[in-house]
A and B are shown apart, each in its own frame.
Chain A
């Protein structure tokens, strides 16, 4: 089975809890200093979905990532975890692409790869939170698309999929080939061992530029970002309950909360 996984490089979303700032002038979100680039968490889940299939029935897994000045060591981790090939679409023209351009760019790269049975993407990116590229690739390549999958299994020449919906799980069947976006419930990406990390260093990475793809990115722009602002955060003055023991704190919390008529 030939599987393609699309992975986006993003600033580590875990870093954002310690406070980001918004530069409205430049329309940029400034992450805390030292925030490393990582593989988008949902895309890691997509890679894990591919590797689970590879474990069970064998597959070649090709990872594609698009951006500007991509961090090779970060994306090479995909190979260390078990992917076979890595294609980087790295060009200044690929900086901060919107979902429309990204979907067209990745679709063009996928068409260059030529053969595939399954295309996997994360359900949304941790920076833009747009949630559209997977569906876009499906539409552009005229393939069926299934979103928010928590299980993907090739069975009898078809794909048996479970997907997360607001009130439960749906069991869906899709033909091969198809595009599936993956949710975190599918499982965390496995940690590579030292041997795998070392072996991954020797795997050649393919780098493609805009001209290699015969795609005019400048023509592919749909939404315009007209404003970026800080959110109206929630602030509160926390009343801390401090007691000798945690049990006493629990009791006291109940009394105070009841007194404040919260419960």
Chain B
């Protein structure tokens, strides 16, 4: 009977290039493969993506599988799950890792059930158990109040990794590897859902994931207009505007601005939390910030447990003065 061998990494592509999460997935994959004494495989899925294979090899993949097809231009569940199913059955890896991205969250569970195995999502640690050689999959549970470690005894063991946690692979052009083209073999009639349109978030300027300074608002902001004031501060400090869940649910700001477990994981130098209580679920998103500044009228707000500087007061009065003084003090 054929044996499962190797670590396969799903190398997500965004607008024709590899995002930081893909380098992190490759870095993590390489460590696991070395730990098992096995090969690292990578897969690129999309349309006209073959050029990226060499970059993936330079990041440590021994073999890069390229599944290139017009029908794979944009992510669609049925199409991508189908080609990944085909690839996994061909390659038979022990481990499959993806990023905890919109694609990863959608694809990993479906693929796991398709292959009658299990996935663990949002892992913050992956390691090989020295005795069993099984993958130890550690993820936050109860909103981040505990860390649970799981193992799965069916192959492949599938895990998605949280953004900004794993060490990224540094490209090394001297590395060698094999590039293997795989035919997608898609039956268009088997793609049951149709992507009609994508409406991209209007956000101009710095992306949340890359911002060094984030000005974030919570339920206390009270409405969309309040976020205008946060935008003003963000402009002064050259940062990006984020939010906790309630403002996004209430449509005071775009859902893509959400920082938290189901939103974005950010690691800025400074995180300014305004009218934001600081739930554990939200902390999962912003807890990696180097410094946190909090403004909240509730002295019991959890955010003060994690903040380096705090003002207990009405943000509507505190913020304008804060912004004005910073404008004065900061160089142009």
Interface residues contributed by chain B, number (CB under 8 Å): 96
Produce 1/0 per residue, A226-254, CB < 8 A to B.
11111100111111110001111111011
Q: Are B122 and A129 interface neighbours, CB within 8 A?
A: yes
A167 proximal to B (CB < 8 A) = yes
Find the residue from B137, B145, B308, B321 having the highest chain A CB count within 10 A.
Answer: B145
Measured CB to CB, the nearest residue on chain A to B299 is: A240
Instruction: State the Cβ distance, B228 to closest chain A Cβ, in Å.
Output: 17
Top 4 nearest A-B pairs (CB, nearest first) are A250-B321, A254-B325, A139-B113, A135-B109
| Chain A residues, Cβ within 8 Å of B113 | 100, 103, 132, 135-136, 138-140
User: Interface residues of B: mostly helix, strand, loop or mixed?
Assistant: mixed
| Chain B residues, Cβ within 8 Å of A239 | 308-310
| Chain B residues, Cβ within 8 Å of A126 | 142-143
Instruction: Place the interface of chain A in its size category.
Output: 35 or more
Q: Are B280 and A17 interface neighbours, CB within 8 A?
A: yes
Produce 1/0 per residue, A149-166, CB < 8 A to B.
010000000000000111
Q: Which of A166, A223, A230 contacts B256 (CB 8 A)?
A: A166
Q: Are B280 and A16 interface neighbours, CB within 8 A?
A: yes
Measured CB to CB, the nearest residue on chain A to B129 is: A226
CB-contacts of B181-219 with A (<8 A):
192-201, 213
A81 proximal to B (CB < 8 A) = no
Measured CB to CB, the nearest residue on chain A to B194 is: A173
Q: Are A227 and B322 interface neighbours, CB within 8 A?
A: no
Residues of A within 8 A of B (CB): 13-14, 16-17, 20, 22, 29, 98-100, 103, 123-124, 126-132, 134-136, 138-140, 144-148, 150, 164-175, 178, 183-185, 187-188, 222-231, 234-241, 245-251, 253-258, 260, 262-263
Q: Are A185 and B255 interface neighbours, CB within 8 A?
A: yes
Cα A225 to Cα B152 with chains together (Å):
9
Q: Are B329 and A255 interface neighbours, CB within 8 A?
A: yes
Measured CB to CB, the nearest residue on chain B to A222 is: B118
| Chain A residues, Cβ within 8 Å of B137 | 223
CB-contacts of B276-307 with A (<8 A):
277-281, 283, 287, 291-295, 302, 304-307
Q: Are B141 and A128 interface neighbours, CB within 8 A?
A: yes
- With A126-B142, A135-B106 known, 6 other A-B pairs at CB within 8 A are A17-B278, A129-B142, A147-B77, A169-B199, A174-B192, A263-B213
